[in-house]
Amino acid sequence: MSTTAGAIALVCRFDAQEWAEWLPALTAALPGETLVRAEDDHDPAAVEIAIVANPPAGALRRYPRLRLVQSLWAGVDKLLADPTIPTDLPIVRMVDPAMNAAMAETALWAVLTLHRGFHVYARQQRDSRWQPHAQRSADAVHVGVLGQGQMGGEVSRQLRTLGYRVTGWRRGEPLGPVLADSEILVNLLPLTPDTRGLLDTARLRQLPRGAALVNLARGAQVVDADLLAALDDGHLSHAVLDVFHQEPLPADHRYWSHPAVTVLPHVAAQTDARSAARVVAQNLAAWRRGEALAHQVDRRAGY
């Protein structure tokens, strides 16, 4: 296939089902653009924009005239860790209201589950055990939300609507008081050098005894051995984990069978093809007009 100058390469780790969703959505949202899948035959020198979804390191090296990278993922930690991507190449992360809404759904489900003990009732059902537990009202439950950006902000707002006592934490603020107060801690921070390994023994043990952790951000922000130790000795009552150091989570990992862990396969907020394709189209149109890019990654901040 030959391509004209200014082509857009789709460098996406998609399976057939995902391509069946994404290709029509992007094609419809970007009329008049030349879209090529990285795995299809094309002239790399004609590619000016890459739309990427979790690409393997080094995947963009073949495009000598690349001028813009648009991520379909909200988290860009892997792109920033790829030493083959020039540091002056603009990268735009996905900010999509549909994704924020999906993240809020997952966070609300997790907080409601942990607060009302629905995970405990699921365990009891397996043992045919009829055992009601005391019910607390949401306005007595303290929830900490790490990260107050697009997703953390939306999650905090929706939790407050349900009546929870929410404390949001932003980079640069003291973390200790938030941890000490959080019966349920929801992590929505971007993975950066500052947040890697953030949730270690020292910080997990600042949570009140019996607290629960909900990690919907990145696995590398949690020190697994420290979390498991805190769950094993009962300092923490439960963890809902959507993200892991290694994904898929290896079959022999203790999280799978731990009674105090709920494992999700990185599905807290999947990118919605139709809505995200419109976001991409708006971003690319703005870029072609020479306007400033919304949600361009700040390499110094790390997201």
Which stretches of the chain bind ligand GLV, using CB under 6 A?
73-75, 271
> In this complex, which beta carbon is closest to ligand GLV, that of residue 74 or of residue 110?
74
* Tokens standing for residue 298: 């700040």
Contact (CB, 8 A) for 68 and 118: no
Q: Which of 235, 258, 266, 274 is catalytic?
A: 266
Please identify, using beta-carbon distances, which residue of 103 and 212 lies nearer to ligand GLV. Answer: 103
CB closer to ligand GLV, 95 vs 108: 95
Q: From CA 68, how far away is CA 10, in angstroms rounded?
A: 12
Min dist. Cβ of residue 74 to ligand GLV (A): 4
Q: Catalytic: 238?
A: no
Q: Least distance to ligand GLV from the beta carbon of 218, Å?
A: 7
The Cα-based distances of 239 to 58, 89, 99, 174, 217 in angstroms read 34, 38, 22, 23, 13
The residue (of 29 and 94) whose beta carbon lies closer to ligand GLV is 94
Smallest gap from residue 84 Cβ to ligand GLV (A): 20
Minimum Å distance from CB 17 to ligand GLV? Answer: 17
Please identify which of the residues 218, 238, 278, 295 carries the catalytic annotation: 218
Taking the least distance from each CB to ligand GLV, the nearer of 100 and 271 is 271
**Nearest distance from residue 75's CB to ligand GLV, in Å?**
3
- Least separation in angstroms between residue 269's CB and ligand GLV is 7
For ligand GLV, which residue has the nearest CB? 75
Indicate if 218 belongs to the active site.
yes
Q: How far is CA 158 from the centre of its chain?
A: 18
216 vs 236 by CB, closer to ligand GLV: 216
Q: Active-site positions?
A: 218, 266
